[in-house]
């Protein structure tokens, strides 16, 4: 398995290189440059030309690309033109916020989806199954950004149960217990709506798995031998039904990380998603390029993690 993992990791390298070239080319094809709108006010044409020369923006795109790659190998992703700080430090700071938000969303997702999927599959055709299935189909029909807005308006503005923006209040000092709990408090609403809106697919996967495994020959054989239904369900049906969910876990986490763009923008949460949107609008290309590469890497990593988790859960499966 380790050889396969190493081979998959090595395959990621040319994929990320191709992605970086495409993103870099596309960013240079867009109108304007990082200085447009950020430094142009109060600057003369001569001063703007001098700044573009200083930052190497007049060089061909491939020269700029190789300079960027050379700096990247030294841990330098460039400087943000908007935030006036290193891209590495900026993304690292925002990545922590996005990671904890995605982790909380994933916990909420599985806390809701796994029991609901099990109940719907085990009691197929009953009112409980119908209620869960109807709820899942309704959530599938609602666009995520609409669900985010409804959650923000109802729980944030109408009921005022949760903050409507930010990641922590300015009244708490870093390192204190109040600071820690306030950060969690700011994450609850975006994590809750993100977790709920992603439950339908997991519920349906698990429901279908439970129903299919209930009808398998090994279940009929176990029942004919007098094995109690509780043992059959927990040991055979449920275990086999959870395999697709386990395989999907790695992809689910990376989808929440990559899908944070809309979520964090709606809730004004200072993570990588909000940083990506603000950097795009301000043409802060060093940040944009670095974030696109990071999202691409997370997607590839999620696929690999899903295969690894699947092989651990079921030893009969080996990743290829």
Domains, the chain, with CATH or none: 94-315 (1.10.3720.10)
- At residue 189's C-alpha, the angle toward residues 200 and 80, to 5°, is 105
* Cβ proximity of 144 and 259 under 8 Å: yes
pLDDT at 310 over 70: no
Q: What is the mean pLDDT of residues 280-303?
A: 80
pLDDT (0 to 100) of residue 178: 78
Question: d(Cα 314, Cα 320) in Å, to the nearest integer?
Answer: 14
For residue 23, give every residue at least 6 positions away whose Cβ sits within 8 Å of its Cβ, in sequence order, or none: 288, 289, 292, 293
Q: Tokens for 24?
A: 């870099």
> If you average pLDDT over residues 159-167, what whole number do you get?
82
**Full-model pTM:** 0.77
DSSP assigned state of 150:
H
pLDDT of residue 91 exceeding 80, the answer is yes
pLDDT value for 85: 81
Q: How far apart are CA 307 and CA 7, in angstroms?
A: 13
* pLDDT tens, residue by residue, 21-31: 888 777 777 66
Closest by Cα among 148, 153, 182 to 167 = 182
**Average pLDDT of the chain to the nearest whole number:** 78
pLDDT at 157: 86
**Which of 99-108, 203-212, 245-254 bottoms out in mean pLDDT, i.e. has the lowest?**
245-254
Q: How far apart are CA 204 and CA 124, in angstroms?
A: 12
């Amino acid at each position: 398995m380790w050889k396969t993992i190493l081979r998959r990791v090595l395959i990621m390298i040319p994929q990320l290189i191709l992605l970086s070239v495409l993103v870099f080319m596309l960013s240079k094809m867009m109108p304007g440059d990082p200085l447009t709108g950020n430094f142009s006010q109060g600057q003369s044409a001569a001063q703007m030309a001098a700044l573009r020369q200083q930052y190497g923006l007049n060089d061909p795109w491939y020269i700029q690309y190789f300079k960027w790659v050379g700096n990247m190998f030294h841990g330098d992703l460039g400087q943000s033109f908007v935030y006036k700080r290193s891209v590495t430090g900026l993304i690292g700071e925002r990545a922590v916020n996005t990671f904890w938000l995605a982790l909380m969303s994933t916990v909420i997702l599985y806390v809701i989806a796994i029991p609901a999927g099990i109940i719907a599959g085990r009691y197929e055709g009953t009112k409980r199954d119908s209620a869960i299935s109807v709820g899942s189909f309704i959530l599938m029909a609602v666009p995520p950004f609409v669900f985010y807005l409804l959650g923000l308006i109802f729980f944030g503005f109408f009921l005022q149960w949760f903050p409507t923006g930010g990641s922590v209040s300015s009244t708490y000092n870093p390192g204190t217990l109040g600071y820690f709990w306030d950060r969690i408090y700011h994450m609850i609403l975006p994590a809750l709506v993100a977790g709920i809106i992603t439950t339908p697919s997991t519920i349906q996967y698990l429901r279908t798995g439970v129903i299919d495994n209930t009808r398998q020959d090994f279940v009929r054989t176990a029942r004919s031998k007098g094995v109690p239904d509780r043992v059959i369900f927990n040991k055979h049906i449920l275990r086999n039904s959870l395999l697709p969910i386990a395989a999907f876990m790695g992809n689910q986490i990376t989808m929440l990380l990559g899908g944070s763009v809309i979520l964090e923008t709606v809730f004004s949460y200072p993570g990588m998603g909000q940083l990506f949107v603000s950097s795009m609008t301000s043409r802060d290309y060093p940040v944009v390029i670095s974030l696109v590469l990071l999202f691409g890497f997370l997607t590839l990593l999620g696929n690999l993690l899903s295969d690894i988790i699947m092989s651990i859960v079921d030893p009969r499966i080996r990743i290829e």
